[in-house]
Amino acid sequence: MKSWEAPVGKSLKTIAVDLTPVLPGGANGGAKIFVLELLQRLSAMFPSTQFNLLTQAQSHEELASMDRSNMRRIMVVGPAVTQTIRPRLMGLASRILPHLPLRLRGLVNRLGYSLHSALKRSASGGLLHDMGADLLFCPFTAPTYFEPGIPTVCTIYDLQYKTYPEFFAPEDVAHRDRTFADACRKASGLTAISDYSRDSAIAHGKLDPAKIRTIHLRMANRFDPHAVHDKSVLARLNLQPQRYFIYPANFWKHKNHEMLLTAFGMACHQGLASDFKLVCTGSPGDRQSWLAGATQRMHLANRVVFPGYIPGEELAALIAHCGGVVFPSLYEGFGLPVVEAMAAGVPVACSNITSLPEVAAGAAILFDPRVPSQIAQALLELAAGGARQDQLVQAGLARAQEFADSQRMANEYWSLFQQSLSNEISENLLTGVYPDGWTGPLLNLQVTPSPSPQMLEMEVLVAQWMPQPKVTLQVTTAGRTQGVPTDIARGAAQLVVVPLSAEGGVYQVQLKPHFVPSQTGHGDDHRQLSAMLQRCVLKRAGGEEIDLLGESRS
C-alpha cells in the first residue's frame, strides 16, 4: 500500500472543519487557498462523508461557494465576538502587557488565550457530539472546538514567532504559542506542510516524531498551466509581458519587502533595463502604504507597482507573463508561489533559508535574503534570459510535478484522519470551564486508563444571585449515567464524588439549568453559565491526584 492510500477502518461519516479563522479576501495568505482547495478535493473524493464547516460572521457568506451536497456551513461565531470581543481583548493586552513584570505576562497571556477560545465556543457546548462528528479537522492549527472523545487533526504551518518574535506584537506571540501548545497537547494527529516545519515542531514542542507527519502542499497546478490568460490585467497595470518581476505575497514583515526594494534599486543602478518593473501584490494596508512611500523616496515609484489584492485568474495571468518570480522571504513554512511559478514555466529566484531550499530543490536561483547584493544579482540573472533562464524553466517544470497531485495530498490527509480514529487517549483533559471558573451547561472530561478504579471529585458553587433555585449535576458516559443526579441549592457549595472506570474514557458533566447574566440584570456578560467549578480532581490508587481544573487553564 502506498503511504498516501487510506487504510480500511472506521467510517468517517461526519467531519467538522474549523474555518472560524478564515478572513475575507486575502488576509489569510496562502493558508486559505490551500485549505479551501483541500476541502473541495476531499468532498469530491469522499461523497458519502458529510463536511460541516464551522464559520464566523465575517466570512460566512464569502464561503457560500464551498456549499456542496455533502458540505455545509454552520456559523458558530457571530458578530459580537468577531467585531467586538476579540479586538477588545487584543487591545487590552497590548496596553497592559508592556507594563507587567515578566513573571505575570505569561499568566495574563494564558488567561487571555483561554478566554478568547472560550468566548468563541460560547453556546457551542457539545457542538461536535450533537452533530455526530467523527473527527474535528483544524486546518488553521488551533483546536478551539476540541471535545474529548472526538479525534482531532491539526495542521502546523510554521513557528515563525519562535525565530522572529520581533515581527509580532507580544499578545500575538502569546496567542500563537498557546495555539501551538494546545495543538500538541490535544491533537490525535498532527501534520506539517514541510519537513522543515515538522522538524521545527518536533524540536519546539518536544513531540514524538511518530505523532506528526509531513504532507506537502501539492497544489502546483492550482492555476491551469495550459490556460490562455486574459492579458487585460497587464494593460490595466501598464505592464509589458516578460518585462517585470512579480512578488506575490502579503506585506507581512517576514516577507522582507524592504530588502527587495533595496535590491531592485541596486539592480536598476547596475544596468537592469529601464522598462523592467517590479510588481508587489498583496492585501493593502499600512505596510503597503509605507512601502509605496519608500519607493518614492528611492526614486523608484515609476518602476514599482502595488496593485493590491489580485484575484486568482488575474494573478495567474500576471505570473504567466512575468520575466520571473522573486521570493525573498525570511521565513516560510512551504512557499506555495514558488511551485506555482515553476508549474507555469516561469523562472524563480528565492531565499536559501527555512523551507525554500527543500521546496525549490535546485530548480531556482537561491540567494541570502539578508544580503541585497545577492538579491540584485539574482534579478539581473533572471532578466538576462538565455540558456540559464531556459535551464531554470525546465528544472522548475520537473520540480513542480512533485507538488502537482492534489488528489495525493487529499489522500494523505484522509489517511491521517483514519489513523487518528484509532489513536488511544493519552491525556487527561477537561473542557467547558471558563478562565474565571464559571462553567457552561456541559463539561467534557477525557480520562486515561488506570490500573485500578478512579474517582472524580468536583467542588461546585452555585451563585447566590443566579435566577434558579438550584443546579442539577449529572455525569454520563456513552449515554449511561454515572452515579446519581446531584442537586446544589442556590448560594451553596458542594463536593460531588463520582466513581469512574479503570478503563478511562470520555465523560460528560451536564449542569441544568443555565442562565445568561446580561439577561438577568448582571452586567453585559452574554455567556451561558451554570455554576462555579472550584475544584476538579481525578483520584487514583496510591494517593495520586490529578488537578484537571489547573490543567484546563494551563
Residues 450 and 486 in one domain: yes
Q: Is residue 409 in a domain?
A: no
Which domain range does residue 483 map to?
A: 429-553
The tally of domains found in the chain comes to 3
Residues 516 and 465 in one domain: yes
**What's residue 116's pLDDT?**
54
**What's residue 18's pLDDT?**
97
User: What is the DSSP secondary-structure string of 383-413?
Assistant: HH-HHHHHHHHHHHHHHHHTT--HHHHHHHH
**What's residue 87's pLDDT?**
53
Q: Is residue 181 in a domain?
A: yes
Task: Answer with the one of 164, 184, 214 that is the final residue of a domain.
Answer: 214
Q: 387-396 long-range CB contacts below 8 Å, 24 or more apart? A: 389/324, 389/347, 392/347, 392/348, 392/363, 392/364, 392/365, 393/345, 393/346, 393/347, 395/362, 395/363, 396/341, 396/342, 396/343, 396/345, 396/346, 396/347, 396/348, 396/363, 396/364
Dmax (CA) of the chain:
84
**What's residue 220's pLDDT?**
86
Phi, psi for residue 212 in degrees, rounded to 5: -130, 135
Give the pairing of strands 470-477 and 480-489. Answer: antiparallel
User: What is the DSSP secondary-structure string of 193-216?
Assistant: SSHHHHHHHHHHHT--GGGEEE--
**What's residue 171's pLDDT?**
83
Q: What is the mean pLDDT of residues 145-154?
A: 92
Residues 362 and 251 in one domain: yes
Q: What is the mean pLDDT of residues 66-78?
A: 95
Residue carrying the nine cell digits 506584537: 169
Mean pLDDT computed over every residue of the chain: 88
Q: What is the mean pLDDT of residues 234-243?
A: 96
Task: Answer with the one of 371, 404, 437 that is the final residue of a domain.
Answer: 404
**What's residue 123's pLDDT?**
47
pLDDT score of 172 more than 70: yes
Helix (H, G, I), strand (E, B) or coil at 163: helix
Which carries the bigger pLDDT value, residue 174 or residue 346?
346
Q: Is residue 536 in a domain?
A: yes
Which pTM was predicted? 0.79
**What's residue 167's pLDDT?**
94
> What are the residues whose beta carbons fall under 8 Å from the beta carbon of 208, sequence distance 6 or more?
none
**What's residue 4's pLDDT?**
37
Q: Is residue 436 in a domain?
A: yes
Residues 296-342 pLDDT 10s: 999 999 999 999 999 888 999 999 999 999 999 999 999 999 999 99
**What's residue 70's pLDDT?**
97
Q: Is residue 222 in a domain?
A: no
Q: Is residue 51 in a domain?
A: yes
Q: Is residue 423 in a domain?
A: no
Residues 76-123 pLDDT 10s: 988 755 544 455 545 544 554 455 454 444 444 544 545 555 555 554
Q: State how far the alpha carbon of 237 is from the alpha carbons of 241, 277, 320, 323, 454, in Å.
A: 11, 11, 15, 15, 69
Which carries the bigger pLDDT value, residue 423 or residue 506?
506
Residues 115-143 pLDDT 10s: 555 555 554 557 898 999 999 999 999 99
**What's residue 336's pLDDT?**
93
What would the grid cell of residue 434 be?
471558563
**CA dist., res. 232 & res. 242, Å (int):** 15
pLDDT score of 455 more than 70: yes
Q: Is residue 80 in a domain?
A: yes
Q: How confident is the model at residue 522 (pLDDT cuts 50, 70, 90)?
A: confident
Residues 255 and 372 in one domain: yes
> What are the residues whose beta carbons fall under 8 Å from the beta carbon of 137, sequence distance 6 or more?
15, 16, 17, 18, 152, 153, 417
CATH of the domain at 491: 2.60.120
**CA dist., res. 332 & res. 196, Å (int):** 9
Residues 93 and 171 in one domain: yes
Residues 33 and 170 in one domain: yes
Question: Do residues 195 and 157 lie in contact, with contact meaning Cβ atoms separated by under 8 Å?
Answer: no
**CA dist., res. 15 & res. 339, Å (int):** 30
Residues 38 and 144 in one domain: yes
- % of the chain beyond a pLDDT of 90: 68
Residues 202 and 347 in one domain: no
Q: How confident is the model at residue 2 (pLDDT cuts 50, 70, 90)?
A: very low
Residues 202 and 269 in one domain: no
Residues 250-304 pLDDT 10s: 999 999 999 999 999 999 999 999 999 999 999 899 999 999 999 999 999 999 9
Question: Do residues 134 and 149 lie in contact, with contact meaning Cβ atoms separated by under 8 Å?
Answer: no
Residues 270 and 122 in one domain: no
